C-alpha cells in the first residue's frame, strides 16, 4: 500500500508490530492501574482473579454435591426395587408351597400308592407266622428281614449260647490240666539236668586240682634248672672278666707308650691317652695371645663409638645454632612486615577520609522521584 501524504510503503509486518506494541502498552497501563490503585490493591495481588477462582471453586463444589446426591437417590431407588422383588419372590414361594401341600393332600393319598400294602397294619396283623400257607412267593406276604417267630428264636439262641459256654468251660479246664502236667514234667527234667551239672562240676574241680599240682611240680623243676644255669653263666662271666683284666694290665694300651698313639702323622683315638706338658703350655700361650687380641679390638671399638658420639653432639650443636639464627631472622622479617602494614593502613585511612569529605553531598527530591514510575 502507498500513503499519499508521506509516500512511504507500509507492509503487513509493520502493521502487526504496531498492533502488538499497542496491545502491550494497553496491558501495561491496565496493570499499573491495578497496582497503583490503593483501594483495589491487596498486598500486590489480583483481587478480580481471586474472585473468579473462588467462584469456580464454589461451582465445582456444588457440581460435586449434586453428583453425590444423584448417586444417593439412584442407590435408594435401586434398594427399594430390590426390596420389592425380594418380597414378591417370598410371596410366590409361599404360594407355591401352599399349592403343593394342597395337591399332595387331595391327590396323593397313601391308599393310592403302589407300596401301600407294605405299610398296611391290617394285613400285617393277619399274618401270625412265617410258615403259613397264605405266605406264598407270588403273594408278596413274606419279605427278607421279617421275623414273626422271634420269641422261639430267642429261646433257642439262649439255649445254644448256654451250651457253647459249657463247652468253652470244659475245654478251658482240660487245657489248664494239660498245662499243669507239662509244668510238672518240665520241673522234673530241670532237676535231672541240675544233678548232672553238679556231677560234671565236681569232676571238673578234681581235674583242675590235678592239673594245678602237675603244673606246680613242673614249674619247680624248671626253676631249679634255671637257677643252676644262671649260676654256671655267672661263674663263666667272672672268669672271662678276670682274663680280660689281666690282658689289659699287661697290654701296650695301659703302658702309655707315645709311639703307639700315632700312626704316621695321625693320632689313633683308641690308643691316645692325653697331651704332653709341652703341648698344654703351647695351647695356653696361644689362648693368652687370643685374649690380648680380643681386648685390643674391644678398645678400638670403644674409641670408635666415642668418636661417633662426639661428632653427633657437635653436629646437633651446629644445627641448634642455625635454627636459632633462622628464628631471629624470621622475627626481624615479621617486625619489618608489621611496620610496613601499619604504614599502608594509615595511608589508606587518610585517603578514605579525604574521599568521604569530597563526596558528602545529600540526595535531592529528584533522586527519589525516579522510583515507582513503571509497572515493572
- The predicted pLDDT at position 300 comes to 93
Same domain? 76 vs 32:
no
Same domain? 79 vs 98:
yes
Q: Which residue, 85, 106, 127, sits at the end of a domain?
A: 106
Same domain? 82 vs 102:
yes
Same domain? 88 vs 102:
yes
pLDDT tens profile 200-236: 888 888 888 888 888 888 888 889 999 998 999 999 8
Same domain? 76 vs 62:
yes
How large is the average pLDDT for residues 350-372? 73
- Which of helix, strand or coil describes residue 276? coil
First to last CA, the chain: 37
Rounded distance between C-alpha atoms, residue 21 and residue 28, angstroms: 11
Cell (9 digits) for 153: 428264636
8 A C-beta contact, residue 130 and residue 148: yes
What HEC string does 83-117 produce?
A: HHHHHHHHHHHHHHHHHHHHHHHHHCCHHHCCCHH
Same domain? 22 vs 53:
no
Instruction: Report yes or no on 57 lying in a domain.
Output: yes
Instruction: Report yes or no on 284 lying in a domain.
Output: no
pLDDT tens profile 300-326: 999 999 999 999 999 999 999 999 999
8 A C-beta contact, residue 115 and residue 95: no
Q: Containing H/E element for 324?
A: helix 277-358
CA angle centred on 160, ends 155 and 165, rounded to 5°: 125
8 A C-beta contact, residue 271 and residue 260: yes
Instruction: Report yes or no on 2 lying in a domain.
Output: yes
Same domain? 12 vs 53:
no
8 A C-beta contact, residue 135 and residue 141: yes
Cell (9 digits) for 358: 569530597
Cell numbers 509244668 correspond to what residue? 183
Rounded distance between C-alpha atoms, residue 131 and residue 324, angstroms: 152
Instruction: Report yes or no on 55 lying in a domain.
Output: yes
Domain extent for 100: 49-106
How large is the average pLDDT for residues 43-53? 72
Q: Containing H/E element for 235?
A: helix 150-249
> How far are the Cα atoms of 155, 171, 174, 175, 178 from residue 168, in angstroms, in the given order?
20, 5, 10, 10, 15
> How far are the Cα atoms of 252, 262, 280, 333, 336 from residue 259, in angstroms, in the given order?
10, 6, 19, 95, 101
CA 81 to chain centre: 61
How large is the average pLDDT for residues 168-196? 89
Instruction: Report yes or no on 291 lying in a domain.
Output: no
Q: Which among 235, 215, 214, 233 has a CA at the least distance from the CA of 225? A: 233
Q: Which among 280, 262, 261 has a CA at the least distance from the CA of 271? A: 261
Instruction: Report yes or no on 253 lying in a domain.
Output: no
Same domain? 65 vs 85:
yes
**Global pTM exceeds 0.75:** no
Q: Containing H/E element for 360?
A: none
Q: What is the number of other CB atoms lying within 10 angstroms of the CB of residue 248?
A: 10
Q: Which among 246, 248, 268, 250 has a CA at the least distance from the CA of 258? A: 268
How large is the average pLDDT for residues 359-372? 69
- The predicted pLDDT at position 326 comes to 92
- The predicted pLDDT at position 145 comes to 63
CA atoms within 13 Å, Cβ hemisphere of 193: 6
Instruction: Report yes or no on 368 lying in a domain.
Output: no
Q: How many domains does the chain have?
A: 2
Instruction: Report yes or no on 37 lying in a domain.
Output: yes
pLDDT at 155 over 70: yes
Q: Containing H/E element for 262?
A: strand 262-263
How large is the average pLDDT for residues 100-111? 82
Same domain? 58 vs 102:
yes
Provide φ and ψ at 127, rounded to 5°. -95, 120
Amino acid at each position: 500500500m502507498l500513503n499519499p501524504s508521506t509516500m512511504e510503503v507500509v507492509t503487513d509486518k509493520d502493521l502487526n508490530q504496531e498492533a502488538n506494541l499497542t496491545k502491550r502498552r494497553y496491558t501495561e497501563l491496565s496493570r499499573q492501574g491495578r497496582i497503583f490503585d490503593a483501594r483495589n490493591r491487596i498486598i500486590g495481588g489480583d483481587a478480580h482473579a481471586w474472585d473468579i477462582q473462588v467462584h469456580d471453586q464454589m461451582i465445582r463444589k456444588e457440581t460435586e454435591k449434586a453428583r453425590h446426591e444423584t448417586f444417593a437417590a439412584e442407590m435408594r431407588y435401586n434398594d427399594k426395587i430390590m426390596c420389592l422383588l425380594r418380597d414378591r419372590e417370598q410371596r410366590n414361594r409361599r404360594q407355591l408351597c401352599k399349592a403343593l401341600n394342597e395337591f399332595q393332600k387331595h391327590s396323593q393319598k397313601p391308599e393310592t400308592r403302589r407300596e401301600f400294602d407294605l405299610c398296611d397294619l391290617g394285613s400285617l396283623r393277619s399274618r401270625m407266622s412265617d410258615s403259613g400257607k397264605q405266605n406264598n412267593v407270588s403273594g408278596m406276604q413274606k419279605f427278607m428281614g421279617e421275623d414273626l417267630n422271634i420269641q422261639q428264636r430267642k429261646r433257642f439262641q439262649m439255649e445254644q449260647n448256654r451250651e457253647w459256654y459249657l463247652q468253652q468251660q470244659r475245654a478251658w479246664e482240660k487245657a489248664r490240666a494239660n498245662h499243669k502236667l507239662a509244668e510238672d514234667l518240665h520241673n522234673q527234667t530241670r532237676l535231672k539236668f541240675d544233678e548232672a551239672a553238679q556231677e560234671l562240676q565236681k569232676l571238673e574241680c578234681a581235674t583242675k586240682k590235678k592239673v594245678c599240682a602237675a603244673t606246680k611240680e613242673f614249674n619247680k623243676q624248671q626253676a631249679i634248672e634255671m637257677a643252676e644255669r644262671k649260676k654256671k653263666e655267672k661263674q663263666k662271666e667272672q672268669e672271662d672278666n678276670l682274663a680280660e683284666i689281666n690282658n689289659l694290665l699287661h697290654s701296650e694300651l695301659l703302658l702309655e707308650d707315645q709311639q703307639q698313639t700315632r700312626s704316621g702323622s695321625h693320632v689313633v683315638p683308641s690308643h691316645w691317652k692325653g697331651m704332653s706338658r709341652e703341648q698344654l703350655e703351647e695351647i695356653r700361650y696361644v689362648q693368652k695371645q687370643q685374649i690380648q687380641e680380643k681386648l685390643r679390638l674391644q678398645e678400638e671399638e670403644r674409641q670408635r663409638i666415642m668418636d661417633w658420639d662426639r661428632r653427633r653432639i657437635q653436629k646437633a650443636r651446629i644445627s641448634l645454632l642455625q635454627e636459632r639464627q633462622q628464628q631471629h631472622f624470621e622475627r626481624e622479617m615479621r617486625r619489618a612486615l608489621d611496620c610496613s602494614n601499619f604504614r599502608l593502613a594509615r595511608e589508606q585511612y587518610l585517603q578514605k577520609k579525604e574521599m568521604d569529605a569530597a563526596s558528602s553531598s545529600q540526595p535531592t527530591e529528584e533522586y527519589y522521584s525516579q522510583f515507582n514510575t513503571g509497572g515493572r
